[in-house]
Structure 1
Amino acid sequence: MMGAAAELTAPSSPDGESLCASILVNEAPAVSPQTSCAEVHAMLHGDSSILAVAVVRGERPIGLVGRLEFLANMARPFWPELFNRKPITKLMDPAPLIVEWDRRIDQIGDVLLSCKPKAMIDGFIVTRDGAYSGVATATELMRMTTTIARQRFDRLSSALHQVTEANAAKAKFLANVSHELRTPLNAIIGFSDLLSRRLYGPLTEQQSEHVGYINHSGQLLLSLVDDLLNLSVAEAQQMELHEETVELRELSAACAKLVEPRAAKAGISLKTELGAQALALCVDEVKLKQILLNLLTNAVKFTPAGGEVRLSLATSLDGEIRVVIADNGIGIREEDIKVILQPFGQAHDKRAHPHQGAGLGLPLSKALIELHGGTLLLRSQLNFGTEVEIRLPAERRVTDRGAETDAAGGGQKDIA
């Protein structure tokens, strides 16, 4: 009994004509269902280039005769006597793989392997608007797929090269701009500092206030320039780590001490849970300190009076080092989390606007952590607070100091 053909129909390829089944078509002969097996046998014997013969009723394909299988069967004893005079429908594959002219090549390969692996040997039929167009082979499909893959690889390599060059140019541009900005900014900060100390004579109360504004604004702008340059260099993978052995508990406690006055002034409780066991790591101390200060300052900034910020250290079972900075502040909407991890990203929350800076602190911290081979995770719930977790790989730990303890620094300490 004749089976149903495995048909594939699809809209036109979004990748263009060059990636469709149309480029695989060979104008192989087609025969009617009444054609005898002997006639097909003679056809295949007479032309070794014919790899398959389609069986077509009108314009619609109903079967396929693969060269290798058909000739092998007809070479069996008694098969010619049995089938020579019978119609080719007796020995055809009644359910060949049929694909439309505009079917994408990558889709054909997937279906061929999953639904009709026999087509790897016999080939498959290509139709146009349901009408027979020709036969394609798996060999041609694989050759074309390889060609397309190579072309895509070349395009991606070229694009990657352009992106790399663009990143290098951006880093160089920012470095030059940063250098040009630092010089006048340092002068502004220095001269305003001298003025505020009355080294050039007395100042009125209003003049003193304005000089303070100038000095503060200059320092903020200089910090922004430094962050922007550091972020650009880190993203371009051109930043170097100056690694040394650092005791994480001591560094964390020092960072908490630096943020303590700001937390106390805002009426926020700043607590640390640093544990009793020493955690010696091989890291860039300056950059890790910058990360911790950024995250602690952010937590204090977005926590209202009476709230709490907590800094804790821990190690996982596989030795991974984890630093968690959590607060019970205003929190972040889920859709804003990805935004604020991008440079200049800002949360769409009116309560955060008075405190928002340029939006470089979190992206820079994330880039610096990733430079250490670690990850930065941010979890938050609006109105309930935010938790930022830093994970550093176990390889960063200096094991020869792993057994040291310092009872004086252990446990929980309330520093505000």
Structure 2
Amino acid sequence: MIMSMEDRVEILAIDVPVVTPNTSCEEVYHLFQEDPDLLAVTVLQDGQPIGLAHRTDLTLALAERFGYALYARKPISMLITETPLIVDASNSIDFLSNMLAYDATHALQKGFIICRGSEYIGVGTAISLLQASIERTRRRAEELQKAKTIAIQANKSKSAFLANMNHELRTPLNAIIGFTEMIQKEAYGPIPQKEYQEYIDIVNSSGNHLLNVINAILDMSKIEAGKMEMREQECDIFELVQQVARMMSSAAGKKNISLDLDLRENLPDLCCDPTMIRQVLLNLISNAVKFSPEDTVVSLSVRVMDCGTLEVSVRDQGVGISRENIEAVLRPFYQVDGDLNRAQEGTGLGLSIVKAYLELHQARLDIESELGQGTSVSVTFPVARVICASEGCCGIEAAAFAE
């Protein structure tokens, strides 16, 4: 990474008077008297810095009893700091700040010498460091404000693009899907060539896939913009799970995968947005089926825990996820690299949407998996969303779910 000039120690260098080791203390004292802002004077010998004469130290020495008579005509080398901190000008200000804070705190009071290689440049002080830090903070604040403005404009452009895509893509896609379904049903007569029937099936399947992709992108956009609205109501979780199982039975059947449902009797209702929770269950079971080999089992269980929460678990015997990738798969558009994954269609939005929907419900998502050992995904709804027969859910304040 290339540092800008504003980030280098070089900008801290102050051009202060330079004296030799033989310059008298009286002469140096007069230099301080002439410039009230001067804090230190550099002592050079043969062009190389050998110490700093400090205003406070020299003034105190001369102010002592007999101090002026004792030191005034003596060389300044008697009263200098012989081991000052010398910093290379190419170092970063952040590096210097850490050094002054932890390894060379004395230099904050005494100052430090700045060189470029063996060439003397000037003196740095706590004041020059503070001034540079303030300037850098101001500059970075301006850069952040510019970046924020650009981001806002980009977000507006994205929203406009998505709104346009919503109309320009979904409208013709719905027409394609509708007409291909009508042809599949042979509403106006049989299809003479079997190959055409296969082609129509492919067009319909591709159209539905593309529509699902567009819907996922639009949903993710609404979630990121904080515009996803919930329509909460009392939901029969038993019936909802059975609906999802029926919807996924065809996809599971194509791979001879059994859907094993473990549903306890007298399950309580759930206060939720049924459309969102249905989509959560569809995504979880779809992933389990998609990444499981043929002739395996996908299990789904619903139970009320001892603490009163409701847990929905989906387990498969699929390829699994490595531990280091478990958090990553929840990020939008992330897809774990692997031969089976590359063979599957998808945007990488499924689990990120699941996570976002569950966060709106104050529910927790837990994933346990190992490569080659399958995956277990658990969704835990808080007690406040679990409805007993004598309770209702509509009208419960959102704050109740945050406990």
**TM-score with structure 2 setting the length:** 0.80
Q: Kindly indicate whether the alpha-carbon contact (under 8 Å) linking 2:323 and 2:370 is maintained by their aligned counterparts in 1.
A: yes
What aligned pairs does 1:70-219 form with structure 2 within 5 A after superposition?
A: 70-204=58-192, 206=194, 207-219=196-208
Measure how far apart 1:154 and its partner are: 1.4
Q: Letter of the aligned partner of 1:190 in structure 2?
A: G
1:325 aligns to what? 314
Deviations 1:161-216 (A, max 9, x none): 21232133123212212212222222222223333334323333625444444333
1:68 aligns to what? 56
Structure 1 residue matching 2:49: 3-state secondary structure: strand
Q: In the aligned structure 1, how far is the partner of 2:263 from the partner of 2:75?
A: 86
Q: In the aligned structure 2, how far is the partner of 1:139 from the partner of 1:270?
A: 71
Residues 1:260 and 1:203: Cα distance change in structure 2 (over 3 Å): closer
What aligned pairs does 1:1-400 form with structure 2 within 5 A after superposition?
A: 14-204=2-192, 206=194, 207-235=196-224, 237-245=225-233, 249-250=237-238, 251-252=240-241, 254-256=243-245, 258-260=247-249, 262-263=251-252, 266-271=255-260, 283-311=272-300, 324-332=313-321, 345-369=334-358, 380-388=369-377, 397-398=383-384
> What number of residue pairs does the alignment pair up?
389
Q: What runs of 5+ residues in structure 2 fail to find an aligned partner?
A: 392-403
Q: In the aligned structure 1, how far is the partner of 2:306 from the partner of 2:60?
A: 62
Q: Kindly indicate whether the alpha-carbon contact (under 8 Å) linking 2:6 and 2:136 is maintained by their aligned counterparts in 1.
A: no
Q: In the aligned structure 1, how far is the partner of 2:305 from the partner of 2:76?
A: 69
Residues 1:227 and 1:41: Cα distance change in structure 2 (over 3 Å): same
Q: In the aligned structure 2, how far is the partner of 1:82 from the partner of 1:276?
A: 100
Deviations 1:291-314 (A, max 9, x none): 221121111111113433344568
Q: In the aligned structure 2, how far is the partner of 1:93 from the partner of 1:246?
A: 79
Structure 1 residue matching 2:177: 3-state secondary structure: helix
Residues 1:43 and 1:291: Cα distance change in structure 2 (over 3 Å): same
Runs in 1 of length 4+ with deviation above 6 angstroms? 273-281, 313-322, 334-339, 402-405
Q: What runs of 5+ residues in structure 1 fail to find an aligned partner?
A: 1-12, 406-416
Q: In the aligned structure 2, how far is the partner of 1:88 from the partner of 1:391?
A: 76
Structure 2 residue matching 1:384: 3-state secondary structure: coil
Residues 1:86 and 1:309: Cα distance change in structure 2 (over 3 Å): farther
Q: Kindly indicate whether the alpha-carbon contact (under 8 Å) linking 2:267 and 2:304 is maintained by their aligned counterparts in 1.
A: no
Q: Kindly indicate whether the alpha-carbon contact (under 8 Å) linking 1:332 and 1:381 is maintained by their aligned counterparts in 2.
A: yes
Q: In the aligned structure 1, how far is the partner of 2:234 from the partner of 2:261?
A: 18
Deviations 1:3-28 (A, max 9, x none): xxxxxxxxxx8222232222222211
Q: Kindly indicate whether the alpha-carbon contact (under 8 Å) linking 1:300 and 1:309 is maintained by their aligned counterparts in 2.
A: yes
Structure 1 residue matching 2:65: 3-state secondary structure: coil
1:410 aligns to what? none
What RMSD over aligned residues (CA atoms) do the two structures have, in Å? Answer: 3.8
Percent identical among aligned pairs is 35
Q: In the aligned structure 2, how far is the partner of 1:233 from the partner of 1:258?
A: 26
**TM-score with structure 1 setting the length:** 0.78
Q: Which has the higher contact order (CA 8 A, sep 6+)?
A: 1
Q: In the aligned structure 1, how far is the partner of 2:304 from the partner of 2:42?
A: 67
Q: In the aligned structure 2, how far is the partner of 1:93 from the partner of 1:277?
A: 84
Deviations 1:215-243 (A, max 9, x none): 333222222221222223333x2432215
Larger mean CA deviation between 367-376 and 161-170 belongs to 367-376
Larger mean CA deviation between 222-231 and 34-43 belongs to 34-43
Measure how far apart 1:363 and its partner are: 3.9
Q: In the aligned structure 2, how far is the partner of 1:317 from the partner of 1:86?
A: 87
Q: In the aligned structure 2, how far is the partner of 1:105 from the partner of 1:26?
A: 15
Deviations 1:121-170 (A, max 9, x none): 33221112223221122112111211111211211221122123213312
Q: In the aligned structure 2, how far is the partner of 1:167 from the partner of 1:317?
A: 45
Structure 2 residue matching 1:126: 3-state secondary structure: strand
Residues 1:340 and 1:28: Cα distance change in structure 2 (over 3 Å): same
Structure 1 residue matching 2:105: 3-state secondary structure: coil
